[in-house]
Structures are given as structure tokens and as C-alpha cells.
Amino acid sequence: MQIFTPEELEDDILSELMEEINELYEASEQTLIELELRPEDNELQRSLFRSVHTIKGDLGLVNFSPMVPLLQHVEDLLDFLRKGQIHYTSTMSDLVLLTMDQVKGFVQSVMNDGRASYDEHLHEQLVQAISRISPQNHADHERLLTEAVQLLNPELGNTALGDVDGLQQSVSGPPETVANTGILKTVSGDKRDDMVFFRNLMQTIEHRSNYWAGRGDRIAKLALYINHEAGSPIDDDQLSVACYVHDFGMAFMPLTLLNKNEPYTQAEFNLMRSHVYKSSRLLEHLEHWNHARKIVMQHHERVDGNGYPLGLKEEDICDGAKLLGILDTFDAMTHSRAHNQDKQMSKKQAVIALNRAADGQFSAKWIRHFNRVMTRLLTQGA
């Protein structure tokens, strides 16, 4: 391993750099999901190229030289893509996101420790692997991309998302919602006013922690999509409200606890578990949201009976809570939290991990519905 020690930089420059990288990473993830649905969309291809180009330029400006050659070769690959000289594949998305993970970890280490370690030999291997992909060898692209991905993450390279049971079934598109919210366009009147209020309330609460931004919308939109794929056995409006308010009680926990990155003591864990009661009380006098309240109360129950607060087993847990429990975990896996700042997963990695952990924790029926929707978002063309 080599050690990189940068020139002295002001803290605000590093913070701004990390903030932009995080924003571009989030934007790239969304672009890659859309590319799975529209792999020939040239505007999406150009957007992905611009994100990598911007990150490379930012690192060059602060002389973070070890990351630049790797980003340059990924940029060259995406240049072939945007010019129509090669075709997009899901393995390409793995390569882009894993490369960005390397960059994020590198910059974060510099911010935390004033230096960063990196594997120069690995980077040389990656550069060589990526440089072998050209418009002249289309038949070899998937193999070469897989080799590059395996260098960055051998486990992901060896485990295709399509190998997870049930992932290759087709699904319909997502339901139409209001702008980028989890509120259906068909909702109107007092019910819609309530839902907008709960969403606005959650957006305010999201500022309480460094790790919650956008969480309510992400979970609510995905929940509606999966519910529709399953034939809408859960009332959409009740599900949407539950997604927005399920962590309301977290806002009343001490910040030291919310941002703690060491394991909780038993007393701290018990306090954190009480958030389901605090969240459900928000709805206790609103009878028309009774089912949403039930979903909130049960979303940390497990099908094997080892969840909380009541230790319910599968037959006693409502469908909305079974689905919300999966999506709550999925969002935590794929977004930075106090306890996993350097360990957040790509969406594909998280789907694989959830399937491996599903037995006893999650409903097998709802994992199958989750898998089918994520297959469409991550691996299938439109």
C-alpha cells in the first residue's frame, strides 16, 4: 500500500469537495438506474460522463493525483459509450459505482487523517483492464468489464444479481406520483393535504440528522412501486403516510445517539427502539390513518418473532409493515449512516445482501416482490 499526503488544504475546501462528490455519486446512481431502463438514451450517457469528468477535474485541481488515472480511464470508457461506439451493460454500472466508492473513501481518509492509503498495483491493474475495452472488441466487453469489477470487489464480480432467486420476473412500471414524492397524483382533498403535511414534517425532521436527507421520499416512492407490482394489497395512501412518519420518533433522540458510530449499549438500544411508539403516537388521534399507524408500530417486527416492540410473528404482522421493514433496511444499506459511513453498498449489492439475510427476518413473499421491482430498476431494459 502507498500513502498519499496532500498539500495543505483548508478544511472548507475538502468539505466542499466531499459534498460535491457525494452529490455526483447520488446523481450517477440515479442515472445508472435510468440507463438500465433506457440503455440507449444518449442524454443519460452524457450525464454520466459529465459526472465522472467533473469528479476527475475536481481531484486534479487539489492535486489528488493517485485517483486521476483511474477516473481518466473510466471517463474514456464512458466517452465511447456517449459516442455510440460501445453499448451499456449492468456490469458497466458496477464499475462506475465501485470506482466512485474508491474515490469517496480516498477523499474521506484525507479529511479524517490528513492522508490516504491506496493500492498502486491494484490501480495499475484496473487501468490496464479498462484500457483493453475498445470499440473494436465488442464480443469481449462483458468479460473485460467483469474482470475489472472483480479487481474492485471479487464477491460482486462473482455474484450476478440475476442469480438471486426470483429476480428475473417481469414487472410493470411505477405508479404515477406527484413530482418526486411518494404521494399518488390521484389523491385529493383533505387526504392529500394530510399527506403533504406529513411529508413536509418529515423533511424538517430529516435535517435533525446528517444522514436522513431524502429518506422519506425514497422509501415512499419505492414502496408504492412494489405495492403496485404485488397487485396493491396494501392501501397506497396508508402505506405512503407510514413511510413518511415511521421514523418520526427518531427526531426526539439525543444527537449524540443519532450520530454515534460505536455499538449501542443495551440502554441506548432500548431507547432507540422506543421510536416506534413515539412515531405511532403522531397518528393516534387521526382515525382515518389507523392502518398507517399499525404499519409504523410493526415495521421493526420480524417474521421469526425476534423483532420489536411486541415480538410478533409473520402471520400477525401486516403486509405494509413487512414491506416497510425491507425498504427501511435497504435504504440504510445504500446510504451513509453514522455506523456505516465507509460501508454503504450499491443498490445491487444491497439487494444481494438482503436476499442472503432474508430467512427469518423478512417476509419471503415481499422479498420476491422487492426482487422483481429491483430487477427492473437494475438489470432489465425497458
Domain residue extents for the chain: 2-158, 189-378
Cell of 26: 447520488
Determine the Cα–Cα distance for residues 190 and 5; give it in Å rounded to an integer.
58
pLDDT by residue (tens digit) across 201-251?
888 887 776 667 778 889 999 999 999 999 999 999 999 999 999 988 888
Closest to 243 in 3D by CA, of 181, 193, 303:
181
Determine the Cα–Cα distance for residues 85 and 95; give it in Å rounded to an integer.
18
Determine the Cα–Cα distance for residues 181 and 217; give it in Å rounded to an integer.
5
Q: Which CATH architecture has domain 189-378?
A: Orthogonal Bundle (1.10)
pLDDT at 338: 43
- Helix (H) / strand (E) containing 4: strand 2-4
CA distances from 330 to 113, 130, 242 (A): 30, 30, 16
Query: CA torsion sign, 185 to 214 to 159 to 371?
Result: negative
CA distances from 8 to 63, 132, 213 (A): 11, 36, 31
Residues in CB range of 166: below 8 A, 6 or more apart: 367, 368, 371, 372
Residue 382 confidence class, pLDDT cut points 50, 70, 90: very low
pLDDT by residue (tens digit) across 21-80?
988 887 887 787 677 667 899 999 999 999 999 999 999 999 999 999 999 999 999 999
pLDDT by residue (tens digit) across 125-159?
999 999 999 999 999 998 999 899 888 876 544 44
Q: Cα–chain-centroid distance for residue 318?
A: 25
At residue 246's C-alpha, the angle toward residues 240 and 251, to 5°, is 130
Judge whether 2-158 and 189-378 match in fold.
no
CA distances from 227 to 220, 288, 313, 323, 327 (A): 10, 20, 21, 8, 12
pLDDT by residue (tens digit) across 84-124?
999 998 788 889 988 988 898 899 898 888 999 999 999 99
Domain 2-158 -> CATH class: mainly alpha
Provide the percentage of residues in the chain whose pLDDT is more than 90. 48
pLDDT at 37: 62
